[in-house]
Amino acid sequence: MRAALPRVRTLGPVGAPLGFHLIKDDEFYQFYVAAEARGTGAAAALMADAEATLAAQGVETAWLACAIGNARAARFYEKSGWTLARVEGVPTETSSGLFPLDVWRYEKRLA
Protein backbone atom coordinates (compact mmCIF):
# COMPACT_ATOMS: atom_id res chain seq x y z
CA MET A 1 0.00 0.00 0.00
CA ARG A 2 2.82 2.41 0.83
CA ALA A 3 4.34 1.90 -2.61
CA ALA A 4 0.95 2.38 -4.28
CA LEU A 5 -0.13 5.48 -2.32
CA PRO A 6 0.12 7.88 -5.30
CA ARG A 7 -2.58 5.79 -7.03
CA VAL A 8 -4.88 5.34 -4.02
CA ARG A 9 -8.16 7.28 -4.16
CA THR A 10 -9.91 8.03 -0.89
CA LEU A 11 -13.32 9.29 0.20
CA GLY A 12 -13.92 11.43 3.28
CA PRO A 13 -12.03 14.03 5.30
CA VAL A 14 -8.26 14.42 5.01
CA GLY A 15 -6.73 12.38 7.81
CA ALA A 16 -9.93 10.41 8.45
CA PRO A 17 -10.82 8.58 5.22
CA LEU A 18 -14.06 6.62 5.03
CA GLY A 19 -12.74 4.34 2.34
CA PHE A 20 -10.35 3.91 -0.54
CA HIS A 21 -9.79 2.10 -3.80
CA LEU A 22 -6.70 1.20 -5.77
CA ILE A 23 -6.63 0.33 -9.46
CA LYS A 24 -3.86 -1.78 -11.04
CA ASP A 25 -3.99 -1.79 -14.86
CA ASP A 26 -7.40 -3.28 -15.76
CA GLU A 27 -7.98 -4.60 -12.23
CA PHE A 28 -10.10 -3.03 -9.50
CA TYR A 29 -7.40 -4.17 -7.14
CA GLN A 30 -8.09 -3.01 -3.56
CA PHE A 31 -11.33 -1.72 -2.06
CA TYR A 32 -12.24 -0.95 1.53
CA VAL A 33 -14.93 1.07 3.28
CA ALA A 34 -14.70 1.74 7.03
CA ALA A 35 -17.23 -0.19 9.10
CA GLU A 36 -19.10 2.97 10.11
CA ALA A 37 -19.51 4.00 6.46
CA ARG A 38 -20.87 0.69 5.16
CA GLY A 39 -24.44 0.82 3.90
CA THR A 40 -24.26 4.62 3.45
CA GLY A 41 -23.51 4.84 -0.28
CA ALA A 42 -19.80 5.49 0.27
CA ALA A 43 -18.94 2.25 -1.51
CA ALA A 44 -21.07 3.21 -4.51
CA ALA A 45 -19.36 6.61 -4.73
CA LEU A 46 -15.92 4.98 -4.69
CA MET A 47 -17.03 2.41 -7.25
CA ALA A 48 -18.36 5.13 -9.59
CA ASP A 49 -15.04 6.93 -9.31
CA ALA A 50 -13.11 3.72 -10.01
CA GLU A 51 -15.20 2.78 -13.04
CA ALA A 52 -14.83 6.29 -14.48
CA THR A 53 -11.06 6.11 -13.96
CA LEU A 54 -10.81 2.68 -15.58
CA ALA A 55 -12.92 3.79 -18.55
CA ALA A 56 -10.85 6.96 -18.96
CA GLN A 57 -7.73 4.76 -19.09
CA GLY A 58 -9.26 2.85 -22.01
CA VAL A 59 -10.17 -0.31 -20.11
CA GLU A 60 -13.08 -2.01 -21.88
CA THR A 61 -13.62 -4.88 -19.43
CA ALA A 62 -12.43 -4.48 -15.85
CA TRP A 63 -11.99 -7.34 -13.40
CA LEU A 64 -11.64 -7.84 -9.68
CA ALA A 65 -10.86 -10.68 -7.28
CA CYS A 66 -13.28 -11.24 -4.41
CA ALA A 67 -12.43 -13.63 -1.58
CA ILE A 68 -14.59 -16.74 -1.90
CA GLY A 69 -17.33 -16.44 0.72
CA ASN A 70 -17.16 -12.63 1.07
CA ALA A 71 -20.93 -12.49 0.58
CA ARG A 72 -21.35 -8.81 1.45
CA ALA A 73 -18.76 -7.72 -1.10
CA ALA A 74 -20.18 -10.11 -3.71
CA ARG A 75 -23.68 -8.71 -3.19
CA PHE A 76 -22.32 -5.19 -3.53
CA TYR A 77 -20.49 -6.03 -6.78
CA GLU A 78 -23.55 -7.74 -8.24
CA LYS A 79 -25.86 -4.82 -7.46
CA SER A 80 -23.20 -2.56 -9.02
CA GLY A 81 -23.44 -4.46 -12.31
CA TRP A 82 -20.44 -6.76 -11.97
CA THR A 83 -20.78 -10.40 -13.06
CA LEU A 84 -19.19 -13.48 -11.50
CA ALA A 85 -17.04 -14.86 -14.34
CA ARG A 86 -15.43 -17.89 -12.64
CA VAL A 87 -13.31 -19.17 -9.80
CA GLU A 88 -9.70 -18.40 -10.65
CA GLY A 89 -6.31 -18.86 -8.99
CA VAL A 90 -4.55 -15.50 -8.71
CA PRO A 91 -1.03 -14.75 -7.42
CA THR A 92 -1.84 -12.77 -4.26
CA GLU A 93 0.68 -10.38 -2.70
CA THR A 94 1.79 -11.24 0.83
CA SER A 95 4.66 -9.89 2.94
CA SER A 96 6.64 -13.02 2.04
CA GLY A 97 5.93 -13.04 -1.68
CA LEU A 98 3.18 -14.18 -4.02
CA PHE A 99 0.71 -16.81 -2.81
CA PRO A 100 -1.66 -18.58 -5.25
CA LEU A 101 -5.24 -18.13 -4.02
CA ASP A 102 -8.55 -19.20 -5.54
CA VAL A 103 -10.95 -16.24 -5.76
CA TRP A 104 -14.26 -15.26 -7.31
CA ARG A 105 -13.33 -13.34 -10.46
CA TYR A 106 -15.85 -10.62 -11.24
CA GLU A 107 -15.91 -8.65 -14.49
CA LYS A 108 -17.71 -5.59 -15.78
CA ARG A 109 -17.79 -4.26 -19.32
CA LEU A 110 -17.23 -0.51 -19.21
CA ALA A 111 -16.94 0.46 -22.88
Ligand X SMILES: CC(C)(COP(=O)(O)OP(=O)(O)OC[C@H]1O[C@@H](n2cnc3c(N)ncnc32)[C@H](O)[C@@H]1OP(=O)(O)O)[C@@H](O)C(=O)NCCC(=O)NCCS
DSSP state of 18: S
- Pairwise CA distance, residues 68 & 86, whole Å: 11
Q: Which of 58, 69 has the CB closer to ligand X?
A: 69
20 near ligand X, judged by CB under 6 A: no
Write out the binding residues for ligand X, residues 36-95 only, by CB under 6 A. Answer: 38-39, 43, 66-67, 70-73, 75-76, 79
- Pairwise CA distance, residues 52 & 60, whole Å: 11
Q: Which residues are at the interface with ligand X (CB under 6 A)?
A: 31-33, 38-39, 43, 66-67, 70-73, 75-76, 79
